[in-house]
Chain A
Amino acid sequence: MLKNLLGMNLNNLLAIAFTSVFTSVIFGQEHIDLKDSVLIQDLDEVIVTATRTVRQLSSVPLPVTLISKEQLRNTGVIRLNEILNEQTGIITVADESGFDGVQIQGIAADYILILINGVPLVGRSAGNFDLSRLTVGNIEQIEIVKGPSSSLYGSEALGGVINIITEHPKDDKIHGDASYRFASFNTHDINVGVDQRIKKFGYSFFANSLYSDGYDLFPEVVGQTVPEFNNHTFNGQVFYDFSKNMKLFASGRYYRQDQDINLLIDEELFEGSSDIKESNMQLRLDHHVGNELALQYELYYTNYMATEFLQSPVTDALFSESDFDQYLLRPEIRATYTIKPKHDLTVGVGFNQERLDRTFFDEEVRFDSEYAFVQYDFYPLKKVNLILGARYDNHSAYRSQFSPKASTHWKISDVVSVKGSVGYGFKAPDFRQLYFDFTNSAVGYTVLGYNVAVDKVLELEAQGQLLDILFDLEELGEPLEAESSIGYNLGASYTKGKVRLNLNLFRNDFQNLIDTRAIARQINGQNVFSYANFDEIYTTGLELDIHYKVSDRLTLSGGYQLLYAKDKQKRVALERGEVFARDPRTLQTVVLDNSDYFGLVNRSRHTANTKIFYNIPEWDVHMNLRVNYRSRYGLFDSNGNDILDTFDTTFVNGYALVNLALNKTFSDTYTLQLGANNLFDYRDADNIPGLAGIQLFTRIGVNF
């Protein structure tokens, strides 16, 4: 209670401070500078993720989104998930497991690869990568490539790739920045960074600390919705140029989070902790041989450890304990050969070794895979760019994969260009789907990984635990297939004067999606589940982005995504009249058809954003207002027919979140930022526990 009061007072205080500065800025602005210079769009923006070579953004034949450092700074976000949520067609959602993950073009988090400086991050919870693990404090640029990119990146890159590029030292002066941000819920975010380049040698160090009291949407229930947490990120980078043609980059990153958790079960309170430790080490040597050949040798290691336990504070009895320890080792060599200007051939070979040891596994499991990829990026015609690529992955635990991709960009004029791509993407069955051995003690069902299912079922059979086995066990001897998709993107862009417009139509056809099914029945009436390939889904729709630079001061932008995400087999069953629902009023059963089918869970038909950026250069003031909307979506099937339909009661109302930030720079060195996330305090505690109420913040920063 006391804490709540304090929190409230703090919010009020911040609100007052904010409002006064804001109003003084608005009303203090008496003269309007009409000097409207020729507006130059950002023509020098480059992206490396799309092709693994440096490419000019406007010429890339794929749907891409770039988030600049400037945008990160000006919006006052602190974590990656916050800024991604403001991009067209990208949202973070909690799935059935309750964990948050990112969704792109309606494709779930399991199928989106997260990279840092081109190398993958591991450590997922039920397939979701928690993007709030990543601070934006030392990010130079975030690059998002939508659509399948397995032709370059292999597994997991079905729905897209998010690549975080960290800051590099720029010159021989020591540059440092430090900032402190204080926000609602007693949240403190501290960043310290320093970098320098002295001739051949460069370095950068960065540290971030985030502490929060968390928040509680259900004060009447013991325990908080999000308990207090504290995490730290450290990143050190070293650069050394042996010569003009031989450059070394080494990076080490460490992340750690500690959180006390508690859980109330049958009026008994259990307490414990949930801790995460993550480390990444990357070593890269860039070697130019003449002007034509560029070689990159890369060695990467990452480890992710999560431990969690809950016990009774009264009896010390352990309620649950889980460990998760995953590591990835990856050497990779890439070569880009420039046959002639704008004709680049890239080849790469690499090796992945992954290990995972966790609770509910019998023993540590290990995957090995070797891979090679090739890409030819060329201009068959003067204004037509074509990129052909393919990758081959040979894997120790599932069938090898061949992932081709073709994309093209045609610059019709300086104003209009069109682009299109077709690509294959896949996701290898993960460790859990292959090796899990879990029995729910409360209900009594069992979930088995595919590779251990046959042995475990025979074991249960021998113990007399089974009523019957529902499948021919020999059938389960065939290896589980990788989940795969074919993605199509067709886009056009229009750039003239102050207006930039991008339109993209997309379709992703997924097959062999892995889901659980009952394979045996136990004498306790519960099922033994295992994983199988059976779902076929599609996501299709369009994305539209409009960017309008009204003047030097004012920029407006808007984005919209229309999305249809459905299960193909369910559509067929509906077509045949085989899907039913019970009318809750009459309790009578009715036949459903496709017009009753809402689509996959957690997908909003419409998502949209609007942003207003306003500069007052003479005062070194920048403000922005961002509105993000998502329409109604369903959480899960509630009426037993395994689809979301018009009779389901688990829909979440559409909502918009408004974020506001105000920046003032003093003598190029000091910055003051005030802002509010979720300005109108939108909450839906029952359906979206991850959505806290209004968060006011203020930040002071210094650059030197």
Chain B
Amino acid sequence: MKSTFQVLSFFLLSILFFSCENDDDALPSEAIESRTVSNVPAPQTGGPPSEDPVGGPFTKFSFATATVTTSDTEWDIAFRGTTIAINGGVPTGTNDEPVRNGEAAAAIATGTFPSVTDANDLSFIQDSENGFAIPVGSDNGWYNYNPQVNVIAPIPGKVLVIKTHDGKFAKMEILSYYKDAPAQPDGFVNESRFYTFQYVYNPNEGQTAFE
């Protein structure tokens, strides 16, 4: 009963609001979500040192639900080894890629995580036959590989800004590629292909701001 009243009053207030100011920006908005996700597994088959081509299914993730998902449609980004696919565009041509059926796109911003406050001025690209929107390879996209210590480290200052499969915006910073995000991963000991990342997700349609 009480909750019904709340919903009702909410509606009433909204109508009031609407009638007073005819401005889209003033839409009552859902809260911006800020989360950290740990140990998203990203297994892969093949790739060096084996001669086999890289393969295996990607681990799909949804910002809206903050979970790993097996849905073929309701996912935003997906992980396999150091490769990150997005649910937008077309497969790049590697084995076992998921079908893209959303409108996801990605941009890489430079700065500390809090300093990226809006997705407005960024140019977004989608996965395509020319490659992943988040480029693969050391120092090309999100990570640096140090062969001396055999460690894959997220490049500090790289913030991935993602347009989700349904057109919302999120910014994410990968914190670790190793299980349980050790402060100083040992490339020969710690288990890799486990993503820990923080992200900020704006669930409101058409809004690009992250604060």
Q: Point out residues on A near B: beta carbons under 8 Å.
A: 96, 441-444, 467-468, 518, 521-527, 578-582, 584-585, 587-591, 635-642, 649
Within 8 Å of chain A (Cβ to Cβ): is B181?
yes
The answer to whether B143 and A640 have CB atoms under 8 Å apart is yes
A644 CB, nearest partner CB in chain B, Å: 13
Question: Are A525 and B54 in contact (CB-based, < 8 A)?
Answer: yes
Q: Which of B113, B131, B156 lies at the interface centre, i.e. has the most chain A CB atoms within 10 A of its CB? A: B156
> Is there a chain A Cβ closer than 8 Å to B34's Cβ?
no
Please, which residues of chain B bring their CB within 8 A of the CB of A521? 131, 135-137, 140
Report chain B residues within 8 Å CB of A642.
144
Additional A-B contact list (9), CB under 8 Å, known A579-B157, A587-B181, A635-B148? A468-B131, A527-B139, A582-B175, A587-B175, A589-B173, A591-B157, A637-B146, A640-B155, A641-B157
- Cα distance, A468 to B136, chains bound together (Å): 11
Chain A residue with minimal CB distance to B181? Answer: A587
Task: Determine the chain B residues whose CB is within 8 A of the CB of A584 once the complex forms.
Answer: 183-184
Contact residues of A: prevailing secondary structure: loop
Min CB distance B15 to A, Å, is 43
**Do residues B137 and A589 form an inter-chain contact, with CB atoms below 8 A?**
no
A580 to B181 alpha-carbon distance, docked (Å): 19
Cβ–Cβ contact B137 & A638, under 8 A = no
**Out of A96, A518, A579, A590, which one reaches B148, CB within 8 Å?**
A96
Which of A523, A524, A587, A591 has its CB near the most chain B CB atoms (within 10 A)? A587
Indicate if the CB atoms of B148 and A525 lie closer than 8 Å: no
Q: Given known contacts A527-B138, A589-B113, A640-B143, is B131 in contact with A582 (CB within 8 Å)?
A: no
A-B contact pairs, 29 of them (CB 8 A): A96-B148, A443-B48, A467-B92, A468-B130, A521-B131, A521-B136, A524-B53, A524-B54, A525-B54, A527-B137, A527-B138, A527-B139, A581-B156, A582-B154, A582-B175, A587-B175, A587-B181, A587-B196, A589-B156, A590-B112, A590-B156, A636-B146, A637-B146, A639-B153, A640-B146, A640-B154, A640-B156, A641-B157, A649-B184
Contact of B137 among A518, A581, A585 (CB under 8 A): A518
4 nearest CB pairs, A to B: A580-B157, A640-B144, A444-B48, A580-B156
Q: A523, A587, A635, A641: which contacts B176 (Cβ < 8 A)?
A: A587
Most chain-A CB neighbours within 10 Å: which of B92, B136, B149? Answer: B136
User: Least Cβ distance of A68 to chain B in Å?
Assistant: 40
Pairwise interchain contact A444-B47, C-beta atoms closer than 8 A:
yes
Cα distance A518–B146 in the bound complex, in angstroms: 15
Report the nearest A residue to B113, measured CB to CB: A589
Minimal Cβ-Cβ distance residue in A for B112? A589
Chain B positions 152-198 with a Cβ under 8 Å from a chain A Cβ: 153-157, 173, 175-176, 181, 183-184, 196
Question: Quick one: closest B residue to A635, CB to CB?
Answer: B148
Is B155 a contact partner of A526 (Cβ separation < 8 A)?
no
Tell me, in angstroms, the Cα distance from A587 to B149 when the chains sit together: 19
Q: Does B82 contact A (CB under 8 A)?
A: yes
B139 and A518 contacting across the interface, CB-CB below 8 Å = yes
The distance in angstroms between the C-alpha atoms of A523 and B196, with both chains bound, is: 26
**Interchain nearest-CB distance for B81 vs A (Å):** 8
**Interface pair B140/A640, CB less than 8 Å apart:** no
Q: Which residues of A contact B147 (CB under 8 A)?
A: 443
Q: Roughly how many angstroms separate A288 CA and B135 CA in the complex, as a whole number?
A: 68
Chain A nearest CB, measured from B96 CB (Å): 14
Most buried by B among A442, A589, A635: A589
CA distance A224 to B183 in the complex (A): 31
Q: Provide the residues of chain A in CB contact with B184, threshold 8 Å.
A: 584, 649
Residues of B within 8 A of A525 (CB): 47, 54, 81-83, 136-137
Closest chain A residue to B183 by CB distance?
A584
B110, A591: Cβ atoms under 8 Å?
no
Question: Once bound together, how far apart are the Cα atoms of A521 and B94, in whole Å?
Answer: 14
- A523 near B110: Cβ-Cβ < 8 Å: no
Could you tell me if B138 and A524 are in contact, using CB atoms closer than 8 angstroms? no
CB-CB nearest in chain A for B136: A525
Q: CB-CB < 8 A to B93: which residues of A?
A: 523
Distance in angstroms from B36 CB to nearest chain A CB is 9
> With a CB–CB cut-off of 8 A, which chain B residues contact A587?
175-176, 181, 183, 196
Chain A residues, CB < 8 A from B131: 467-468, 521
A527 to chain B: closest residue by CB? B137
Cβ of B151 within 8 Å of any chain A Cβ, yes or no, is yes
A598 → B minimal CB distance (Å): 16
Q: Known: A443-B49, A587-B175, A640-B156. Is A518-B140 also a contact (CB below 8 A)?
A: yes
Distance between A148 CB and nearest chain B CB, rounded to angstroms: 31
State the Cβ distance, A350 to closest chain B Cβ, in Å: 40
Nearest Cβ on chain B to A160's Cβ, whole angstroms: 28
User: How far is it, in angstroms, between the C-alpha of A637 and the C-alpha of B151 when the chains are bound?
Assistant: 11
Q: Give the residue among A444, A467, A524, A578 with the most B Cβ atoms within 10 A.
A: A467
CB-based nearest A residue for B49: A442
The chain B residue sitting closest to A587, CB to CB, is B175
In chain B, what residue has the closest Cβ to A584? B183
**Residue among A525, A590, A637, A642 with max Cβ neighbours from chain B (10 Å):** A525
Q: Which chain A residues border B181 with CB–CB below 8 Å?
A: 587
Partner of B48 from A468, A524, A578 at Cβ < 8 Å: A524
B47-A524 in contact (CB<8A):
yes
Q: Which residue of B lies closest to A647 (CB)?
A: B156
Partner of A641, one of B113, B137, B155: B155
Contact residues in A for B145 (Cβ distance below 8 Å): 443
A649 to B186, CA, bound (A): 12
The CA-CA distance from A24 to B156 in the complex, in Å, is: 62
Name the CB-closest residue of A to B149.
A638
Q: Which residue of B lies closest to A266 (CB)?
A: B49
How many angstroms from the CA of A480 to the CA of B91 in the assembled complex? 38
Cβ of A531 to closest chain B Cβ, rounded Å = 16
| Chain B residues with CB under 8 A of A589 | 112-113, 156-157, 173
Judge whether A441 and B137 touch: CB under 8 Å.
no
Give bound CA distance, A442 to B94, whole Å.
20
**B184: shortest Cβ distance to chain A, in Å?**
6
A635 to B148, CA, bound (A): 10
**A residues less than 8 Å from B130 (CB atoms):** 467-468
Give per-residue flags for B72-104: 1 if the beta carbon is below 8 A from chain A beta carbons, else 0.
000000000111000000001110000000000
The residue in chain A whose Cβ has the minimal distance to the Cβ of B156 is: A580
How many Å lie between the Cα of A584 and that of B185 in the bound state? 10
Q: Is the Cβ of A585 less than 8 Å from the Cβ of B155?
A: no
Please report the C-alpha to C-alpha distance between residue A581 and residue B81 in the assembled complex, in whole angstroms.
23
Chain A nearest CB from B111 CB (Å) reads: 8
**Distance between B7 CB and nearest chain A CB, rounded to angstroms:** 39
* Contact across chains for B156 and A638 when beta carbons are under 8 A apart: no
Nearest A residue to B147 via CB reads A443
Q: Contact between B183 and A641 (Cβ–Cβ < 8 Å)?
A: no
Query: In the complex, A636 Cα to B110 Cα: how many Å?
Result: 23
